[in-house]
């Protein structure tokens, strides 16, 4: 596995820390402001939730094409296992297709935060019921994705999934 140079790795880790902070702050900001969603923002949220759900469905169905089609070439995936480029994520999905059985999943508690024109942060909670290489995967996850509108469609330029610390 190729690892970025130390300064690049530090930049990615800093970016990830900022994005995680944004994820938690977005819930606080939304809770404090209680503004109704505009129709356009509601439509964007529905589309982003649909795409994000598609990632989980593609994982379950072992469909690498979905990941390739919905992550741009410079996309990044971040988890407790590290930071992965799009190509590394595709390799991981190929390995997971052989090693994992996904019985089901559920997504809830969605939040959306506009970051800039054509860019949104989507946050959610996930439950997954999967076994990889004979080991039960963590059930509860926090997830976040940054979507950009590129080439006429929404693409996940950044995705992150982190298991809850206290799994039960």
Residue 54 pLDDT class (50, 70, 90 cuts): very high
Taking residue 98's Cβ as centre, other Cβ atoms within 10 Å add up to: 9
- Residue 119: helix, strand or coil by DSSP? strand
Of 98 and 52, the structure prediction assigns the larger pLDDT to 52
Report whether pLDDT(39) > 80: no
Distances from the Cα of 60 to the Cαs of 26, 54, 129, in angstroms? 29, 10, 10
Q: What is the mean pLDDT of residues 34-42?
A: 56
Task: Identify the CA nearest to 96 among candidates 63, 129, 144, 68.
Answer: 63
Mean pLDDT of 11-29: 44
Contact call for residues 67 and 89 (beta carbons, < 8 A): yes
In which band, very low, low, confident or very high, does the pLDDT at 2 lie, cut at 50, 70 and 90? Answer: very low
| pTM score | 0.73
Give the pLDDT confidence score for residue 165 in this predicted structure. Answer: 79
Q: Give pLDDT, residue 42.
A: 77
What is residue 112's predicted lDDT score, i.e. its pLDDT?
Answer: 96
Top-ranked range on mean pLDDT: pick from 31-35, 38-42, 144-148: 144-148
Domains assigned to the chain? 6-163 (3.10.450.50)
Find, among 52, 51, 33, the residue nearest to 144 by Cα: 52
Whats the size of the chain, residue-wise? 168
Residue 158 pLDDT exceeds 50:
yes
CA 147 to chain centre: 9
Per-residue pLDDT tens digits for 69-124 = 999 999 999 888 888 888 888 888 788 888 899 999 999 999 999 999 999 999 99
């Amino acid at each position: 596995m190729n690892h970025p140079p130390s300064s690049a790795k530090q930049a990615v880790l800093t970016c990830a820390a900022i994005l995680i902070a944004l994820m938690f702050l977005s819930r606080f900001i939304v809770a404090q402001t209680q503004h109704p969603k505009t129709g356009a923002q509601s439509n964007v949220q529905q589309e982003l939730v649909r795409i994000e759900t598609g990632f989980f469905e593609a994982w379950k169905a072992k469909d690498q094409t979905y990941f390739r089609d919905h992550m741009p070439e410079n996309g990044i995936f971040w988890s407790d296992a590290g930071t992965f480029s799009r190509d590394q994520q595709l390799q991981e999905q190929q390995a997971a297709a052989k090693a994992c059985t996904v019985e089901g999943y559920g997504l809830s508690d969605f939040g959306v935060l506009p970051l800039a024109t054509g860019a949104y942060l989507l946050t959610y909670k996930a439950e997954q019921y999967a076994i990889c290489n004979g080991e039960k995967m963590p059930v509860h996850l926090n997830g976040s994705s940054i979507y950009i509108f590129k080439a006429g469609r929404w693409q996940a330029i950044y995705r992150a999934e982190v298991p809850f610390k206290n799994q039960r």
